[in-house]
Chains A and B, each alone.
Chain A
């Protein structure tokens, strides 16, 4: 057994996340992820089908409104177009919602036992990966159905997916920590999810927004961390003209949110038990 020696010093509190400790608690991370997954699907009648039903229904609604009624021109079949955006957005909004409220929801544990609190939002992000995989499979099926061969940029798709996960985690970590101190964020999150669906190029191409927005507003548009990811992911699959440099604003934003989120979380972690 390693020599465990721990010093708790109120006058010297570290703001650097302890990744070593986080790794020591990997079993807890796995167990909590598995618990959430199990509880999420175990007690429902159609179980796993829910993970399939949600994106499918949203997809058809989007196709009906934007593809049929409005007739947005996307260059590729609308269903497939929307599916690429929805795959990433569903994961992002899932993690945002679930990770955001996760610390409060686990208050019973937080008040009674110590473990790195970051495990909680992390496990929520991990649970979402199951739905993400299902969406990806659905997307691939649609690619086959329409007989569309992915562009030569497709090797970049995992990179964009990775940034999508990072973005979800970054926002999730921020929200989980903020919600503990300010319960207002419980109301903010559903609002963010609702708005996000429109200010992210999911149902329409990003170029659309660029055509209608003045230059300054376009920059703001890409402050939405997930906007650039969706656009990039789509480009990696369908090819075409490379996205403009504004897309990178999103990626800078993701890195900024992720790193600052880790620091903020570490800063408030110590007295979360006093606030939940």
Chain B
């Protein structure tokens, strides 16, 4: 089978620092120093893989695993620090929809603008113009500046242009996370059409549903390395199972960090009953005084959609106002999540300095069940996200 993409030992490092590094003064003063103490961060470490022609590969991993960096390197937006890549075929990358859209220009003008930016020739756009317009569904507003568009129309037009790219290798990042569900369906349809036409597709997403629907093989990235490359279902399984029931950070980083997160569910083994209290306990350790420490978390469903977001700033419940370990807990007196599988995404930051210390994704998985009311035809998993008290009555 012919190889479309061959990646050999790709690494990418970034130098961490403040924006001051960008000034001339910094550059000049760093010329004097013999040893330049630089804070290097490896976003990707010796990644290698092959993709055959016509394959559709999903790329999954937590935030910061290196997905975006990998896409940027494959689409030539940035150079790798070391390693080699071979690309066989015309590459188009779609890291966002509507790149280069100008608000002052009309829909028609933006189709040409965006199309050429994505690498289409003008003649190509002219031939596909009617198709693009029909797909977008904004015919009536073609000659209106896009600044007057609703965000939905804007996205539809942008995706319509992107959907008509015909490269041999297509690189896509999360563009499906936009638009209403109707339009998302249309996009998914278009994507599988592209996929079935024998083109090579690399698809990055947090949406496991979409990944499993579109791809047969997946690359699971973790800390800048390929953790797994193979069957999609196995990759998703690994991705979801990578987190333990209790999150513990046994390393001691040199910044304030979250030491431990635990779900205290109503039943054992992280099983939670609907309408019963659920407690989430945090141990946070700080090596310095924080001003405006903030910890927040989202409850995320098994497709990666956040259901609720809860925030605590130290003005409400003071913490991290001295050095040491702080134990916080958050209780939902009556958990109203629909039966299904959920996990947490936890954020820890200092508001005054805008320091973002940590994002812990996909930790502490738990399952919500209903024990008392057993109605097979009713509690279908994933039919809803939220459940509330209700009361039916017959009026006449």
One of B76, B89, B117 near A28 (C-beta < 8 A): B117
Residues on B with C-beta less than 8 A from A112 are: 77, 95-96, 99
A115–chain B nearest beta-carbon distance, Å:
7
Closest to B14 in A: A274
A113 near B77: Cβ-Cβ < 8 Å: yes
Residues on B with C-beta less than 8 A from A113 are: 75, 77, 93, 95, 99-100, 117-118
Interface set, chain B 72-115, CB cutoff 8 A to A: 72-73, 75-91, 93, 95-96, 99-100, 102, 104-105, 109, 112-113
Q: Which of B20-28, B176-184, B272-280 is found at the contact surface with chain A?
A: B20-28
Report Cα–Cα, A109/B113, bound state, in Å: 12
Q: Which of A88-96, A178-186, A220-228 is found at the contact surface with chain B?
A: A178-186
Closest to A276 in B: B22
A4 near B109: Cβ-Cβ < 8 Å: no
Closest to A6 in B: B87
**How many positions in chain A have a CB within 8 Å of any CB in the partner chain?**
38
Interface set, chain A 33-56, CB cutoff 8 A to B: 35, 38-39, 42-43
A13 within 8 A of B: yes
A259–chain B nearest beta-carbon distance, Å:
23
Residues on B with C-beta less than 8 A from A270 are: 78-79
Residues on A with C-beta less than 8 A from B116 are: 27-28, 30-31
A30 near B122: Cβ-Cβ < 8 Å: yes
B83 near A10: Cβ-Cβ < 8 Å: yes
Number of A-B residue pairs, CB cutoff 8 Å, is: 114
B335–chain A nearest beta-carbon distance, Å:
40
Given contacts A9-B84, A182-B24, contact A115 B117 (CB under 8 A): yes
B77 near A35: Cβ-Cβ < 8 Å: no
A242 within 8 A of B: no
A149 within 8 A of B: no
Residues on B with C-beta less than 8 A from A57 are: none
Interface set, chain B 6-51, CB cutoff 8 A to A: 10, 14, 22-25, 27
Residues on B with C-beta less than 8 A from A42 are: 104-105
Report Cα–Cα, A8/B88, bound state, in Å: 12
B306 within 8 A of A: no
What string of 1s and 0s marks CB contacts (under 8 Å) between A103-115 and chain B?
Answer: 0000011111111
Report Cα–Cα, A159/B346, bound state, in Å: 65
B121 within 8 A of A: yes
B75 near A114: Cβ-Cβ < 8 Å: yes
Report Cα–Cα, A240/B27, bound state, in Å: 49
A10–chain B nearest beta-carbon distance, Å:
5
A198–chain B nearest beta-carbon distance, Å:
24
B82 near A11: Cβ-Cβ < 8 Å: yes
B122–chain A nearest beta-carbon distance, Å:
5
Report Cα–Cα, A97/B277, bound state, in Å: 62
A31 near B81: Cβ-Cβ < 8 Å: no
B27 near A182: Cβ-Cβ < 8 Å: yes
B168 near A273: Cβ-Cβ < 8 Å: no
Closest to B119 in A: A115
A20 within 8 A of B: no
Report Cα–Cα, A39/B230, bound state, in Å: 48
A212 within 8 A of B: no
A5 near B75: Cβ-Cβ < 8 Å: no
A241 within 8 A of B: no
Report Cα–Cα, A270/B263, bound state, in Å: 46
A39 near B112: Cβ-Cβ < 8 Å: no
B178–chain A nearest beta-carbon distance, Å:
14
Residues on B with C-beta less than 8 A from A38 are: 104-105, 109
Residues on A with C-beta less than 8 A from B80 are: 8, 10
Residues on B with C-beta less than 8 A from A39 are: 102, 104-105
Report Cα–Cα, A39/B104, bound state, in Å: 7
A sample of 20 more A-B contacts (CB under 8 A), given A1-B90, A4-B87, A39-B104, is A4-B88, A8-B73, A8-B76, A8-B86, A8-B87, A10-B79, A10-B83, A11-B82, A13-B79, A32-B113, A108-B100, A110-B77, A113-B95, A113-B100, A115-B117, A182-B23, A182-B27, A183-B22, A273-B78, A274-B78
| A-B contact list, 19 entries, CB within 8 Å | A4-B168, A7-B84, A7-B86, A7-B87, A9-B85, A11-B82, A27-B120, A112-B96, A112-B99, A113-B118, A114-B93, A115-B117, A181-B22, A182-B22, A182-B23, A182-B27, A183-B23, A270-B78, A270-B79
Which residues of A come within 8 Å of B, CB atoms? 1, 3-11, 13, 27-28, 30-32, 35, 38-39, 42-43, 108-115, 181-184, 270-271, 273-275
